[in-house]
């Protein structure tokens, strides 16, 4: 059974910050593991506990933020630019 969790914060450098727009994350439970994903952003996490899963997905989003948001346009591919715009649109 698949459920949607709305991620409302991001974790950057150990600090949690609220998002302007919540991100839908699909969550499944299979073979005693929780699986979270968002194909638009490229998030994928697998954990045995839901709390660990949410923490991991927040950290992944923070890593993407740190890599893409400060990057110059010349450094990014077209899909990288799209991801940068998406990340900027959801953050405060």
Provide the percentage of residues in the chain whose pLDDT is more than 70.
98
* pTM for the structure as a whole: 0.86
3-state secondary structure of 1: coil
Compute the distance between CA of residue 72 and CA of residue 53 in angstroms, rounded to an integer.
31
- What local confidence, expressed as pLDDT, does residue 1 receive? 66
Domain total in the chain: 1
Q: Which domain holds residue 16?
A: 2-90
- What local confidence, expressed as pLDDT, does residue 92 receive? 67
Question: Residue 78 pLDDT > 90, yes or no?
Answer: yes
């Amino acid at each position: 059974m698949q459920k949607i969790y709305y991620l409302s914060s991001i974790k950057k450098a150990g600090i949690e910050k609220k998002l302007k727009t919540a991100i839908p994350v699909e969550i499944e439970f299979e073979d005693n593991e929780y699986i979270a994903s968002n194909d638009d952003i490229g998030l994928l996490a697998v954990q045995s506990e839901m709390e660990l899963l949410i923490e991991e997905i927040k950290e992944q989003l923070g890593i993407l933020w740190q890599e893409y948001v400060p990057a110059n346009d010349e450094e990014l591919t077209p899909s990288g630019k799209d991801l940068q715009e998406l990340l900027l649109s959801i953050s405060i």
